[in-house]
Amino acid sequence: MKLILESDQRIRLNADEQAFAIEAAGGELSPFHLLAASLATCTWSVLLAWATQADLETQDLQITVDWEFGGDPYQVSGIVMELIWPGLPPERHAAARRAAALCTVHSTLEHGTEVMTRVARPR
């Protein structure tokens, strides 16, 4: 799989690559790219398992993730993930969307989670 940083607010995952790689085509790696990459790779792994069970090929699957900022406090205020899968039959599109929503990162982002920060003493 290859992750391509297309801009400061967009990544693309290509599933057809043999080895894992990150390509910085448009900008430098940021924490927001890593957030989007966690969503894309989690979704890819869920879709891979689903496609294997459904006897579907995934070599042409690409996943793009775009995000925007806003709000108070300032944060990632919206994420759009797109599955680009030319070989996926149209009658399987809704099932692929449902499968993608089973990704744990997707669920975490959609429903939120409590984050606690601690300052610890060195051991």
C-alpha separations of 101 from 21, 25, 72 in Å: 25, 28, 27
Q: What is the pTM of this model?
A: 0.92
Q: For the residues 42-70, what does the mean pLDDT come to?
A: 96
Contact 109, 40 (CB under 8 A): no
The torsion angles phi and psi of 80, rounded to 5 degrees, stand at: -120, 120
Domain 2-111 maps to which CATH number in 3.30.910.20, 3.30.300.20, 3.40.50.10490, 3.30.950.10? 3.30.300.20
Average pLDDT value over all residues in the chain: 94
**pLDDT for 73-100, tens place per residue?**
999 999 999 999 999 999 999 999 999 9
